[in-house]
Copies of this chain bind each other. A is one copy, B any other.
Amino acid sequence: MNFVGAHVLSVSQFDRDAIEQVFTVADKMEPYAHRDRVTRVLEGAILGNMFFEPSTRTRVSFGCAFNLLGGEVRETTEIKTSSLAKGESFYDTARVLSGYSDVIVMRHQTEGSVQEFATASRVPVLNGGDGSNEHPSQALLDLYTIRKEMAAQGKDIDNLRIALIGDLRYGRAVHSLCRLLCLYRKVHFTLVSPPELSLPDSYVDEMRAGGHTVIESQDLAPGISHADIVYVTRTQEERFPSQEEAEKYKGLFRLNQSIYTQFCEPNTVIMHPLPRDSRGNANELDNDLNENPNLAIFRQTDNGVLVRMALFALILDVVHLVDKYARDVSWYTAKRF
């Protein structure tokens, strides 16, 4: 895959080589994300960070990644303050906004909207999430985290045993991750969800067709008992037809330290696309796991910055220049990574 000037809209664009390319660059970004070094390679470049649906984490992560490469960020955070509210088409919005910046990240609640936008854009577009459809940078950071966590245990993504827990129907992070994992060999999937929120058949079929093992279950304990990764999700209430409908499924599967100790193998890594819902009626991942060193959820979000820096560097073709425009950091930096 040639990244230079490319849109990143879907995980289906990626093969193993392309993924490896992103991850190799992401590794190189560590000194910058960890504030040992500063690079100014994109000084003067502008990111259009266009979030037409609420988001803090993804929006700030993309913006921060661009800043860490030395670039500037112009941001939009709400649809009602945008021309889209005055009847403007995605085509027009894209033609206009792509005159303002060097690259665009876009999130919008409508499935397919970002693809439509990209078609008309004059600069590369990264999909920051389009409804329940795609969120490719999330899938890449999840996979990057799996690779890192497994490497620390001397393991690989091939032959991975992963348990996916919760709302597997509306969780776009899970969908995209499954698609990426299918690029590897003999992954063992355990899918734990209520029947109504099970992973859509198309994904299960694809996984089986690729030679992977898929076990579906409605029972948490056996599901997590032979896994390298336990990937827990929040009930995506904003995607449900009604709040009442969503409430029925909250809190059905809850992982906490005592269940972990009782059923998981030692060093089973816990992941979650975040935000986790810590309200009493949901609480899919208990706070008593916070001191568990296998809880990788904040390493995931840290990795997100690395992966997004890598995507920007590849698309804008500055990978080879990042170190050239670098210097040491001269301010206090917390030892936080």
Contact = CB atoms under 8 A, between A and B. Distances in A.
Interface string A187-215: 00000000000000000000000000000
A81 B102 contact: no
Nearest to A315: B332
A331 B305 contact: no
Given A5-B332, A45-B331, A89-B287, A64 B101 contact: yes
Given A76-B56, A331-B42, A331-B316, A88 B274 contact: yes
Contact of A336 (B54, B70, B123): B123
A305 B80 CA distance: 23
Point out which of A72, A76, A86, A331 has the most chain B C-beta atoms below 10 A from its C-beta. A331
A314 to B, nearest CB: 10
Contacts of A287: 89, 91
Contact of A100 (B4, B60, B290, B331): B60
A87 interface: yes
B86 A122 contact: no
A110 interface: no
A332 B329 CA distance: 26
B40 A44 contact: yes
A82 B4 CA distance: 32
A92 B278 contact: yes
A316 B276 CA distance: 31
A301 interface: yes
A95 to B, nearest CB: 5
A331 B318 contact: yes
Given A46-B68, A81-B56, A277-B87, A333 B100 contact: no
A25 interface: no
B315 A282 contact: no
Contact of A48 (B60, B76, B87): B60
A277 B100 contact: no
A97 interface: yes
Contacts of A86: 234, 237-238, 275, 277
A84 to B, nearest CB: 8
A240 interface: no
Interface of A: 4-5, 35, 38-46, 48, 51, 54-57, 60-61, 63-64, 67-68, 70, 72-78, 80-83, 85-89, 91-93, 95-102, 122-124, 234, 237-238, 274-279, 282, 287, 290, 297-298, 301-302, 305, 315-318, 321, 329-334, 336-337
Given A4-B332, A61-B100, 17 more contacts: A40-B43, A44-B68, A45-B329, A46-B67, A48-B60, A56-B82, A56-B93, A64-B100, A67-B72, A72-B72, A87-B234, A89-B287, A99-B301, A122-B334, A315-B332, A316-B331, A321-B331
